[in-house]
């Protein structure tokens, strides 16, 4: 019984919560910046944040479960993934499909009290965005770019939970920056499997960039920080945001790129995990602005 539960726990990647937090940060950042702009009561913010936290992990669970169903043959060819529940045979494809449907239902239920635009955005996020991701590594060397959109779609869901429509200048700059952040951390993540992926025929930016990975990661990191700065200007954020969410975040990103050894799997994994820590830093600046700073009028 315990082994059965552990297999499903691993299928939803709950044993590796870092990825869940990376999905959650898109929700948390979008929600907090919207709360700051709208002067949302703290009680309402806390309720929505908790809903986003639960929903983000369910959203991620649906994505990775569908990914493992589609990638079961590829996973058997990659050292790091060959023991995943479906690839190893611990869970059948049929059982995984039932588990996938259950997670989708729970994810929708978590966000059900939200308004119609937010729910529509959620459904778009589940499919086609998250649903198409497993196929991207078969047709393009840029699956990380698609993941940047699908994985950060919570930004749009959370924003629409407070406002009935999008601020396109703010959301587009935030999404562009967060996509570059995803390209940074997921390229580092993909470097763990580069040799196995090449043998299996899977594509990634880690393979595409070749010997230019670090210079290109530096560029993505710079765009990420620049877009966070520009987004703060658009949303008229205060000093806490620019100190933590831009300044300290820039130092953290620089440290990541400088310290990672792309030929060392342990170093790649450690640096990937550090991005969950970066999420806390950026969110801290946003929360302090929301709770301690009054947004200047136009």
Q: How many CB atoms are closer than 10 A to CB 46? A: 12
- Residue 294 DSSP class: P
- Cis upstream peptide for 289 (omega within 30°): no
* Chain length of the chain: 298
SS3 of 134-149: the string is: HHHHHHCCCHHHHHHH
**DSSP code, position 80:** T
pTM of the complete model? 0.95
Tell me the pLDDT of the chain (298 aa) as tens digits: 577 889 999 999 999 999 999 999 999 999 999 999 999 999 999 999 999 999 999 999 999 999 999 999 989 988 888 999 999 999 999 999 999 999 999 999 999 988 899 999 999 999 899 999 999 999 999 999 999 999 999 999 999 999 999 999 999 999 999 999 999 999 999 999 998 888 888 999 999 999 999 999 999 999 999 999 999 999 999 999 999 999 999 999 999 999 999 999 999 999 999 999 999 999 999 999 999 977 776 5
CA gap 77, 125 in Å, rounded: 29
d(CA 281, CA 55): 21
Short-list 190, 39, 203, 41, CA closest to 134: 203
Pick from 27, 23, 34: nearest CA to 237: 34
> What pLDDT does 3 receive?
73
**DSSP letter string, 235-287:** TT--HHIIIIIIIIHHHHHHHHHHH--TT-HHHHHHHHHHHHHHHHHHHHHHH
Alpha-carbon span 220 to 208, nearest angstrom: 15
Q: Are 117 and 161 in contact (CB under 8 A)?
A: no
Dihedral of CA atoms 199, 203, 208, 209 in degrees, nearest 10, equals: -90
Q: Which contiguous run of DSSP H or E holds residue 32? A: helix 18-38
User: Between the CA of residue 295 and those of 13, 108, 126, 239, 243, what are the distances in Å?
Assistant: 38, 33, 34, 11, 16
For residues 274 and 252, is the Cβ–Cβ distance under 8 A?
yes
Burial 286-296 (b: 16+ CB within 10 A, else e): bbbbbeeeeee
């Amino acid at each position: 019984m315990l082994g059965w539960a552990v297999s499903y726990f691993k299928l939803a990647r709950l044993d590796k919560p870092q990825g869940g937090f990376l999905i959650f940060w898109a929700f948390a950042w979008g929600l907090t910046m919207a709360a700051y702009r709208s002067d949302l009561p703290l009680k309402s913010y806390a309720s929505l944040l908790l809903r986003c936290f639960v929903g983000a992990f369910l959203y991620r669970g649906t994505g990775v479960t569908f990914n493992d169903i589609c990638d079961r043959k590829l996973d058997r060819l990659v050292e790091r993934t060959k023991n995943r529940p479906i690839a190893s045979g611990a869970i059948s494809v049929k059982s995984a499909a039932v588990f996938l449907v259950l997670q989708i239902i729970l994810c929708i239920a978590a966000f059900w009290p939200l308004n119609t635009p937010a729910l529509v955005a959620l459904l778009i996020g589940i499919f086609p965005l998250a649903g198409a991701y497993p196929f991207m590594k078969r047709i393009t060397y840029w699956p990380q770019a698609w993941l940047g959109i699908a994985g950060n779609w919570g930004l749009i869901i959370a924003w629409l939970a407070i406002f009935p429509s999008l601020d396109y200048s703010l959301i587009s700059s935030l999404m562009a920056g967060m996509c570059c952040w995803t390209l940074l951390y997921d390229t580092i993540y993909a470097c763990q499997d580069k040799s196995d992926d090449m043998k299996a025929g899977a594509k990634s930016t880690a393979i595409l960039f070749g010997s230019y990975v670090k210079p290109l990661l530096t560029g993505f990191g710079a765009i990420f920080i620049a877009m966070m700065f520009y987004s703060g200007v658009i949303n008229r954020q205060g000093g806490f945001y620019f100190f933590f969410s831009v300044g300290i975040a820039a130092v953290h990103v620089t440290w990541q790129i400088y310290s990672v050894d792309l030929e060392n799997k342990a170093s790649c994994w450690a640096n990937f995990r550090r991005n969950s820590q970066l999420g806390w830093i950026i969110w801290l600046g946003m929360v302090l602005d929301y709770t301690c700073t009054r947004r200047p009028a136009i």
